[in-house]
Chains A and B, each alone.
Chain A
């Protein structure tokens, strides 16, 4: 983790000259330039491609809070992406297309689902936790497939996108909003991780018994972290729905959850910016390989295996050397 416990004291400003911070700033600057490049080179496709990358980066950042910092390996986080997308789709289906309403709906419904799911799942740990999150996600997947008034497995097209005045449907605006959300969530997480809450969360992921021994119950903190991570995924789903104008149960498939985990691990679980790099790397690699051969999965598989074997802390973790506790 690139904010060590020693630096978690209050009122301490981030060390300006450290490598990870510079790299992060540079990364965001480059990402912010994408709409500019897309306009100059008259290539709207690049904007859409990177919008999709940012959607999954946001979801991966959310998952990282639960998985990387909380030690909660959730195999069902794609379910919240689906819920976010379906909130937009169903609201639009009934004619309510106000963007603010959509956002509020997404955040509310995600919390309403994540809280009980988290409560049930957090009674277990280890592989049982993984399986329960998988099972609960599968239940929602089958529910979406079975709801034929909302398209079932054929999905629900979104006729009216989230209405934000003149910016409705504007791809550059969508991209910049995504980038802002991503940046905002990283700053928020940085705060959260460095706070007392984050301390207890990380301690619980290492050894819950000791946390209990000093008189704190980890459950409340883990549940809050889980719900917060679900909210970020739900937000990603909101953007995905607006990007593709479509909501589908495929967004919630267990394979989608698996891919999210891969993105987080690829970038470096427990690092702040790792998931962003992991999502970008995974999706860009996929695109490049698909262009080269139909059998791109045969390259993708070993690449993932090799990265795990040799890059102990993911792509980002490898780059930011200033870490003591790994």
Chain B
């Protein structure tokens, strides 16, 4: 049975290889995201956002027909590497985009660099790729991972909290976020607690926090961990008593599950659904109409990366063969983004504004994010000086 399967796959591959050689005026984009397993909600948001942009432009970007190839990395780095190798060798894509999680991003950086493939990132932005492992072909339309923690640090400083109690899972991203926060918050850190990845019950940590009685609490607990923590924070009666500063914990993907339990929490990121510029407003309206939910920032990031690609293709007349010209066009970022205006730094990461939000009810009474401050303007990441190429 194994060789029957081998024959079938070989036959399919051969026929697809023959067919692929015929397309001409089109651009192939390989989109890698986590579409199964625990991170699937974010990956799905990203795909939805990108697809919305494609739909609004009639399936074209920059006037070119887009062949949108999607692959699921299952949150496994080796599967991500195989998917990227498939994009490069088999599908012969013109650029790779997406990537939900940082560990997959780190794994695919080398095959992308070896193939000199242009990459437009829509979420993950790990520090090494902003520092000495930067690449002239990589453009991150989202943000460098530390940015959201940094804005919360600045927010905490602006609000003059005497001390902050920090809780995050015990993994690389968590540690990076702690460093980012303390880069901008100069007060006292009254507690630094590392929880287990995937931990569900935080009652022990909440009791200890209660006993420490800090001026503010800062957490980085993405996905289900965040939903667990915020629900339990509310039940301990802490929400509203001690300000809760969050990063990647309350956003469009987790607020539907939290509902009113999250009201009053603070968050920091580069975009919110209540932004008042025309691109953002039309994006939010179209997304709500098509998918029936408030878009999360992950959908917005993917949508914006599509707009970025559109602007670059318009500049090069739809051609990607001249890699340098295409990359220069991407670097120009000459388009109206839903975040407002931004520029690319030398390492391919944006220099952009970061905002602070509060979880509140929007005009329609739904629980959403409300912009309350802009602690960081034209903010560069902390690593770009190490980028030399």
Contacts and interface: CB of A to CB of B under 8 A. Distances in A.
Direct contact of A and B (CB under 8 A): yes
B5 A153 contact: no
Instruction: Give chain B's interface residue range (CB within 8 Å of chain A).
Output: 35 or more
Nearest to B175: A148
Contact of A250 (B89, B90, B103, B175): B103
Given A27-B2, A52-B78, A157 B171 contact: no
B3 A284 contact: no
Interface in A8-46: 26-27, 30, 37, 41-46
B171 A145 contact: yes
Given A30-B3, A145-B197, A288 B9 contact: yes
B10 A37 contact: yes
A41 B17 contact: yes
Given A48-B89, A152-B171, A246 B110 contact: yes
A153 B77 CA distance: 10
Contacts of B102: 154
B313 interface: no
B334 interface: no
B228 to A, nearest CB: 19
Interface in A279-294: 280-281, 284-285, 287-288, 290, 294
Interface string B69-94: 00110011110011001101110000
Interface string A241-284: 00111101011000000000000000000000000110011001
Contacts of A152: 171-172, 175
Interface in B192-217: 197
A240 interface: yes
B14 interface: yes
B277 interface: no
A41 B14 contact: yes
Instruction: Give chain A's interface residue range (CB within 8 Å of chain B).
Output: 35 or more
Interface string A29-70: 010000001000111111011001000000000000000000
Interface in B1-41: 1-3, 5-6, 9-10, 13-14, 17, 35-36
B67 interface: no
B111 interface: yes
A155 B77 contact: yes
Contact of B107 (A145, A244, A281, A319): A244
A135 interface: no
A41 B18 CA distance: 9
Contact of B172 (A27, A46, A148): A148
A297 interface: yes
A146 interface: yes
A49 B75 CA distance: 18
A288 B16 CA distance: 14
26 contacts: A27-B3, A41-B14, A44-B89, A46-B10, A48-B82, A48-B89, A49-B86, A148-B172, A151-B172, A152-B172, A152-B175, A157-B106, A244-B107, A246-B81, A250-B75, A250-B78, A250-B103, A280-B6, A281-B1, A284-B5, A284-B9, A287-B9, A294-B35, A296-B36, A315-B2, A319-B1
Interface of B: 1-3, 5-6, 9-10, 13-14, 17, 35-36, 71-72, 75-78, 81-82, 85-86, 88-90, 102-103, 106-107, 109-111, 126, 133, 170-173, 175, 197
4 closest residue pairs by CB, A with B: A45-B90, A45-B89, A152-B172, A153-B171
Interface of A: 26-27, 30, 37, 41-46, 48-49, 52, 145-146, 148, 151-155, 157-158, 240, 243-246, 248, 250-251, 276-277, 280-281, 284-285, 287-288, 290, 294, 296-297, 315, 319
